[in-house]
Amino acid sequence: MKVCLVPCPIIGNSNSGTIEKKRLYPYLPYLPVGLLTLSTLLERAGHQVTILDPIWETGAASSENLAPGKPDDVARLIQTTTPDIVGFSTICSSYPLTIEWAKAFHYLSPGTLILLGGPQATATDEQTLRAFPWIDMVLRGETENSIIPLVTCLQSGSSLDSVPGLTWRSDNHVVRNADTPIILDLDTLPDPAYHLYPVERLFQRYNTNIGPFHQPFPLEAGRGCPFSCSFCSTSGFFRRRYRTKSADRLIHDMVTLHTRYGMDHFDLAHDLFTCDTNYVLNFCHRLREEDIHKVLKWECYSRIDIIDQKILAKMAAAGCVRIFYGIETGSQRMQELIGKNLPLQDVRTVVKETLSLGIRVTTSFICGFPQERPEDLSATLAVAIDMIRMGVDQVALLPLIPLVGSKLYQEFGHSIRSEEQEPRNWPDVFAGLCHYETPYLDSSMLEILPRVVNRYPRLLAALSARNVDVMPVFVRWPEWCHAHSTRVSESYYRGSTFMSDFLRFLQETLSRDTRLSPDLIDVIRYHLVIETVSCTPEDAPIVSERFNCDVPAVMQHLVENKAVTWEDLNPTTYLFWNSEGKVIVRRLTVALAELLGIPQT
């Protein structure tokens, strides 16, 4: 049979934007690891497979912006492969788009079977089939053992009753077959069908696009996490069975990708790679034994309570260059309530040890739990700022996404809200586009906090270095909006003026505070200029502004806990202009600016 598989779109900014806007956002290229493995199995069984990732294919894609185009364009593309079955992969954040693509394809080719798989369709299988008649079936959970039985039954026209993990319609009733057993030995998985994906183009983007550090290439290391944090859905999906590919198999996969495509930096996709210490130590030992660590670098996910100096040292010596730690909340009360149970007193020690070994760190935090109180959020902000000042690469503060299938959803799913029509119509399907009601937290605070933390972490760290408590400032935001008649709708927060307004608010609020030194006022003003220039057209005149100090140097010293030097306090002029959506900043000494006759405001 001819099977066309379509990856789920990964939206550049998944945590904001209406469904309408999400269609326009740039998309992140990401290797659909699961689909590639299924493709190998299908090809081996004699089927003809195409993987069609619309973000590479439609006219909307450009070198800067990858975007899939309109649903009709996506549907036409799929139709060019003349499939018998179209299989869409799904994730919570882009589920409405996937459903739209499927609908557009159904109208173009009503007889072709539409199948869904992946975490979101698995969690919402029955609801999805009831809500959207154009979706024919969902293959739930891990599907390597069920995809061939399904396609074989479809080809022969035999009954679907025995296909494990299938949710389908029979006589207009939704039928849910028994679950598929999980795959215990992941070494039995075949090599992914890389030849079906534009791997070279993806690799090229990974190498050129992501800041100072190459984006690593995704490689599946294993599945399942034995913990059961209440907000997370992974424990249900993989039934809490922690598994890894053997160290030898994983190394074989890394070396194969290196030899075939030149990849030298891998993201070992596993929710909790370091769960089994002996496994990790053996993996590190094998990498060193073969001298592979000198060429191939890798990164992984961990928890601060299952790792220590000894393992970290082995990992660093074996080529580990980054670890992602989910801290989630800085409040011990919330740690317990959400079932994460991290001993917060150990966070600093573990992060410090990790950094001291030369391993970079990403930490992530969540806000918007239904039980969260202002003091909890304040504690989270304090830990996040502390992490920035310790030198972690990124502190992501993410708004909580309600995940169907999670414990939190079971308890508070009835209280999810959305400003948009589709999630309101089908909350149990599109919960990922909603938010929980937060009785103790102001909703505008939850809008601004993640946006500001993610955009200006170093600014917040610089303020905190001078003992400015930023939380009370956030609390005063609604009052300021009211005084300035600023409409605080959800779309306002997503718009271009919010960030400038916020910086103006910060400047005004903190300037009233006599403790704020002139260099800190300059730090805020500098960001305000950047934000303002980012909203100007590209042909707008260059902006020149004079500051009483070398702002980036002051920031650097504050964030790193170092004393600001006399040299930093030299008046400096900066030129700002907008080039291809990025603000370029150039530093001039005041004397040079005067010599060049550059007007200074």
Residues that bind ligand SF4 (CB under 6 A): 225, 227-229, 232, 234-235, 271-272, 303, 326
Would you count residue 271 as binding ligand B12 (CB under 6 A)? Answer: yes
DSSP calls for 508-541: HHHHTSTT--HHHHHHHHHHHHHHHHHTS-TTSP
Residue 182 and residue 142 in contact, taking contact as beta carbons nearer than 8 Å? yes
Identity of the residue, 166 or 564, whose beta carbon is nearer to ligand B12 in the bound complex: 166
Binding residues among 197-256 for ligand B12 as defined by CB under 6 A: 220, 223, 232-234
- CB closer to ligand SF4 out of 143 and 234: 234
Strands (E), 221-359: 222-223, 243-244, 265-269, 297-302, 320-328
- Residue with smaller CB distance to ligand B12, 35 or 75: 35
Partner from ligand B12, ligand SF4, none binding residue 497, C-beta < 5-8 Å depending on class: none
Per residue, the 3-state secondary structure of 421-490, as one string, reads: HHHHHCCCCCHHHCEECCCCCCHHHHHHHHHHHHHCHHHHHHHHHCCCCCHHHHHCHHHHHHHCCCCCCH
Residue of 527, 515, 519 lying closest to 566 (CA atoms): 519
Could you tell which of ligand B12, ligand SF4, none binds residue 227, using a CB distance below 5 to 8 A set by kind? Answer: ligand SF4
Q: How far apart are CA 450 and CA 15, in angstroms?
A: 9
Q: Is 160 in the site for ligand B12 (CB under 6 A)?
A: no
Choose between 448 and 553: whose C-beta lies nearer to ligand B12.
448
The yes or no reply on residue 269 touching ligand B12 (CB under 6 A) is yes
Amino acid (1-letter code) at residue 95: Y
229 makes contact, choosing from ligand SF4, ligand B12, none, with CB < 5 to 8 Å by partner type, with ligand SF4
Q: Which residue in the set 17, 29, 34, 370 belongs to the binding site for ligand B12 (CB under 6 A)? A: 34
Q: How far is CA 360 from CA 324, 357, 387, 390, in A?
A: 9, 9, 12, 11
Contacts of 545 (CB under 8 A, 6+ apart): 525, 526, 529, 573, 574, 576, 600, 601
Runs of H (alpha helix) within 342-438: 347-356, 374-390, 407-412, 421-425
Evaluate whether 400 touches 364 at the Cβ level (below 8 Å).
no
Element (H, E) at 275: none
Under rule CB under 6 A, residue 330 binds ligand B12: no
Instruction: Provide the minimum distance between the beta carbon of 338 and ligand SF4 in the complex, in angstroms, as a whole number.
Output: 9
Q: Identify which of residues 35 and 359 has a Cβ nearer to ligand B12 in the complex.
A: 35
As measured in angstroms, the least distance from the Cβ of 240 to ligand SF4 is: 8
Beta bridge partners of 6: 88
**Among ligand SF4, ligand B12, none, residue 272 binds (CB under 5-8 Å by kind):** ligand SF4
Contact 83, 76 (CB under 8 A): no
- Residues in the chain, how many? 601
Q: Note whether 14 binds ligand B12 by CB under 6 A.
A: yes
Report the sign of the C-alpha dihedral through residues 10, 13, 16, 19, in that order: negative
Q: How far is the CB of 234 from ligand SF4 (least distance, A)?
A: 5
Among ligand B12, ligand SF4, none, what binds residue 477 when CB lies within 5 to 8 Å by partner kind?
none
Give which of 269, 268, 270, 317 is closest to 292, Cα–Cα: 317
Q: Supply the minimum distance, in Å, between the C-beta of residue 271 and ligand B12.
A: 5
Within 13 A of 8's CA, how many CA atoms are on the CB side?
A: 21
Q: How many CB atoms lie within 10 A of CB 171?
A: 5
52 in contact with ligand B12 (CB under 6 A): no
Using rule CB under 6 A, residue 117 touches ligand B12: yes
The one-character DSSP state at 122 is: H
CB–CB of 307/349 below 8 Å?
no
Instruction: State which residue, 14 or 167, has the beta carbon closest to ligand SF4.
Output: 14
Please choose which of ligand B12, ligand SF4, none residue 147 contacts, taking the beta carbon within 5 to 8 angstroms, the exact cut-off set by kind.
ligand B12
Give the contact letters, 391-430, x = binds to ligand B12 (CB under 6 A), - = no.
-------x--x-x---------------------------
Q: Which positions from 91 to 110 touch ligand B12 by CB under 6 A, shown as an x/- string?
A: xxxx----------------
* SS3 assignment, position 152: helix
Cβ atoms 95, 429 nearer than 8 A: yes
Q: Which stretch binds ligand B12 (CB under 6 A): 82-90, 205-213, 340-348, 369-377?
A: 82-90
DSSP 11: B
Question: Which listed residue (11, 199, 251, 316) binds ligand B12 by CB under 6 A?
Answer: 11
Does residue 144 touch ligand B12 according to CB under 6 A? yes
Supply the minimum distance, in Å, between the C-beta of residue 397 and ligand SF4: 16
Only one of the segments 31-39, 98-106, 128-136, 443-451 lies at the binding site for ligand B12 (rule: CB under 6 A); that segment is: 31-39
* Residues engaged in binding ligand B12 (CB under 6 A): 5, 10-11, 14-15, 28, 30, 32-35, 37-38, 87-89, 91-94, 115, 117-120, 123, 139, 142-144, 147, 220, 223, 232-234, 269, 271, 398, 401, 403
